[in-house]
Amino acid sequence: MERRTIGAAALEVGAIGLGCMPMSWAYSTSEQNGEESVRTVHAALDRGMTLLDTADMYGPFTNELLIGRVLKERRHDAFVSTKCGLLVGEQHIVANGRPSYVKRACDASLRRLQTDFIDLYQLHRVDPEVPVEETWGAMSELVAAGKVRALGFCAVGARADHRKSKTPGASGIHATTIRQLERVQGVFPVSGVQAELAVWSREALESLLPWCVSHGVGFMAAMPLGNGYLSGTLTTGGGFEGDDVRARHPRFTAEMMAANQPVVAGLRRIAERHDDATPAQVALAWLLAQGRQVIPLPGTKKERLLAENGRAAELALTPADMAELGALPAARGSWE
């Protein structure tokens, strides 16, 4: 697999990473299978998909434990990216960016991951009660202590809890994020930014990705398959399990799943022009073509889907394909 670099330290990773979240969090619990997940992580490393993206809150904690089972055997094949700063409570998910907490969280992640260093340690959300420079300063001390190689920043949503009131929308989130990134850059260099980017949610192309390019920062595309929708394999009837994020996601009501079908139709049309290609592979190849800064993180717990996603690195889209994909409609159904 082609290699790409992250940040000023030029840390090398496979061009496509593995989002480990669906193994333990956010998607159908009944399909979770620890043994298959471990095999999937091994298969990713075998294919050169070295960036394993996890977080302490996925599970909570169980996702890191799964990854730790693989790292114990082959730490040097993997690039581990985990996150701190979100706590899963009884009722809500809350941010915690206090320096003392961040340091404890890192030690706990290291134990669960069965390693003595994290390649990329990311701030999952900014704690509104703590100046971001203080949180970032504590994270930079983890680099100085040799526990972490580089620091990253997530800009996926303004709120910790999707069930609560309004969000400013992706463009507003990115404007806020860029201001925060400028503040923390003065404390310690940012190596990676993680945010939603997919063919149906392209807002990051306007300002956030250009910011990353101009600062030499890696951009990790979260939800590159639109939570599975862009694969074209979801039926429009919905029927998600209660703890599946899509059961309450406004893009996944029966009405919006039907309204968003032109996006899938466009991906399928282009897939048909390339031998054996699938809509998911076209969605990932479109991301890879956005520039060498971009590392898509398709999430899956299944070996079969991992293999399909990995082959997207071999798919070369033509300028005509790219133009057509760039003209597809944006996703309908938002949290606003």
Ligand X SMILES: NC(=O)c1ccc[n+]([C@@H]2O[C@H](COP(=O)([O-])OP(=O)(O)OC[C@H]3O[C@@H](n4cnc5c(N)ncnc54)[C@H](OP(=O)(O)O)[C@@H]3O)[C@@H](O)[C@H]2O)c1
Amino acid at the residue 245: V
Closest CB 118 distance from ligand X, rounded Å: 15
Assigned token pair, 268 = 């399928």
- Residue nearer to ligand X on the CB measure, 124 or 147: 124
Question: Closer CB to ligand X, residue 115 or residue 231?
Answer: 231
Q: How far apart are the C-alpha atoms of 225 and 82, rounded to whole Å?
A: 20
Residue nearest to ligand X (CB): 299
Rg, C-alpha atoms of the chain: 19
In the complex, what is the shortest distance from the CB of residue 194 to ligand X, in angstroms, rounded to a whole number? 5
- Interstrand relation of 11-14 and 18-19 (parallel, antiparallel or unpaired): unpaired
Question: Least distance (Å) from ligand X to the CB of residue 2?
Answer: 19
Say if strands 79-84 and 118-123 run parallel, antiparallel, or are unpaired.
parallel
Contact footprint for ligand X (CB under 6 A): 19-22, 26-27, 31, 53, 124, 154, 156, 194, 222-228, 231, 233, 280, 297-302, 305, 308-309
Residues belonging to the chain: 336
Task: Name the minimum Å distance from CB 277 to ligand X.
Answer: 11
Q: Where are the beta strands (DSSP E) in the chain?
A: 3-6, 11-14, 18-19, 51-53, 79-84, 86-88, 93-95, 118-123, 148-154, 192-196, 218-222, 294-296
Least separation in angstroms between CB 184 and ligand X: 16
Q: Which is nearer to ligand X, 142 or 154 (CB)?
A: 154
Nearer CB in complex with ligand X: 144/178: 178
Provide the annotated active-site residues.
58
Q: Which residue's CB is nearer to ligand X, number 11 or number 85?
A: 85
Select 64 or 308, whichever has its Cβ closest to ligand X: 308
C-alpha 23/C-alpha 66 separation (Å) is 9
Q: How many CB atoms lie within 10 A of CB 94?
A: 15
- Smallest gap, in angstroms, from Cβ of residue 259 to ligand X? 18
User: Torsion angle, CA of 86/153/218/105, rounded to 10 degrees?
Assistant: -50
Tokens encoding 52: 């394993």
Cβ–Cβ < 8 Å for 301, 228: no
Q: Which residue's CB is nearer to ligand X, number 142 or number 200? A: 200
114 sits in the region (left: phi over 0; alpha: psi -120 to 50; else beta) called left
Give the span between the Cα atoms of 125 and 194, in whole angstroms. 11
Write down the least CB distance from residue 155 to ligand X, Å: 8
Q: How crowded is residue 253: how many other Cβ atoms within 10 Å of its Cβ?
A: 17
In angstroms, rounded to a whole number, what is the distance separating the alpha carbons of residues 288 and 291? 6
